[in-house]
């Protein structure tokens, strides 16, 4: 589960993460550039992690790409019908056939990439990972440590809340509306916007 905000343990100041819901950040490996459309069935949820982005100057999420070994391990566990948390979340009871298919497609993307993912809000690489034990994040000024806060979010979002990314981790735009063909969405090729903008 991704955190919704961080709180400084010394001065109590808190900062909100962008909307942390799963699936709001999607790869579109078969994006139709000419018609600006994507098919629902081709969209993949981006594995992500909480970071402090220096460019956004805010807590955001970045792609969480990790090592090839981590991926092979996750695929092996899924093939043994065990549940995993990374790069996708599966539960003990669910059928793993769809998960294997999704993992393979995500692994294809991962294999073509450098392990450092992009910030999902500016495309940059200037961030510190909260979950990396070698990178201590302290509150500027007071020097306090941050702790994560979690909250339960609604699972219903507007179509425009879904951000679409190329397999290079750069934002293409947001889903706009259903296209004429069933299962197709038209993409609004907008640029990055502030991580503090609320999508509901
Ligand atoms: Zn502080
Ligand atoms: Zn950023």
Tens-digit pLDDT profile for residues 133-187: 888 889 988 999 999 998 776 667 788 889 999 999 999 999 998 888 888 999 9
Q: How far is the CA of 64 from the centre of ligand 2 (A)?
A: 14
Task: Report the alpha-carbon distance of residue 185 to residue 188 in Å, rounded.
Answer: 10
Tell me what the pLDDT averaged over the chain comes to.
Answer: 91
**How many structural domains is the chain composed of?**
1
The pLDDT score that the predictor gives to residue 132 is 87
Judge whether 109 lies within some domain.
yes
Contact 123, 170 (CB under 8 A): yes
Is 137 a member of any domain?
yes
The yes-or-no verdict on residue 22 having pLDDT over 80 is no
**Which residues have beta carbons under 5 A from ligand 2 (an ion)?**
53, 55-56, 119, 121-122, 124
Using the predicted structure, report yes or no on whether residue 200 has a pLDDT greater than 50.
no
pTM equals 0.88
For the segment 45-98, what is each residue's pLDDT rounded down to a tens digit?
Answer: 999 999 999 999 999 999 999 999 999 999 999 999 999 999 999 998 888 999
Dihedral angle over CA of 21, 174, 63, 193, nearest 10: -90
Of 190, 196, 200, 198, which is closest to residue 170 (Cα–Cα)? Answer: 190
Return the ligand number nearest the Cα of 147. 1
Give residue 57's region: left, alpha or beta (phi > 0; psi -120 to 50): left
**Cα(47) to centroid of ligand 1, in Å?**
29
| Domain presence at residue 69 | yes
Give yes or no for a contact between 40 and 184, defined as CB atoms under 8 angstroms apart.
yes
Please tell me the distance from the alpha carbon of residue 81 to that of residue 66, in angstroms, as a whole number. Answer: 22
Ligand 2 centre from 159 Cα, in Å?
23
Ligand nearest the Cα of residue 14 is 1
Domain that holds residue 145: 5-26+47-156
Ligand nearest to the CA of 121: 2
8, containing H or E segment: strand 5-8
Q: Is residue 117 part of a domain?
A: yes
Q: How far separated are the first and last CA of the chain, in Å rounded? A: 19
For residue 148, how far is its CA from the centre of ligand 1 (angstroms)? 14
In whole angstroms, give the CA distance from residue 28 to residue 46: 10
């Amino acid at each position: 589960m991704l955190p919704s905000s961080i709180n400084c343990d010394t001065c109590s100041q808190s900062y909100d993460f962008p909307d942390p819901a799963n699936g709001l950040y999607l790869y579109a490996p078969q994006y139709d550039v000419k018609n600006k459309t994507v098919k629902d069935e081709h969209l993949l949820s981006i594995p992500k992690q909480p970071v402090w982005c220096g460019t956004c100057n805010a807590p955001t999420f970045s792609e969480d790409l990790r090592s090839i070994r981590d991926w092979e391990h996750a695929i092996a566990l899924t093939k043994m019908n065990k549940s995993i948390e990374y790069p996708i979340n599966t539960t003990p009871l669910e059928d793993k056939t769809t998960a294997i298919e999704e993992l393979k497609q995500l692994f294809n993307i991962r294999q073509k990439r450098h392990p450092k993912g992009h910030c999902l809000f500016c495309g940059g690489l200037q961030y510190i990972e909260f979950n990396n034990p070698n990178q201590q994040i302290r509150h500027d000024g007071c020097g306090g440590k941050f702790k994560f806060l979690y909250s339960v979010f609604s699972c219903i979002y507007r179509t425009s809340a879904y951000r679409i990314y190329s397999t290079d981790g750069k934002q293409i735009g947001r889903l706009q509306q259903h296209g004429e063909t069933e299962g197709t969405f038209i993409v609004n090729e907008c640029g990055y916007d502030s991580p503090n903008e609320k999508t509901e």
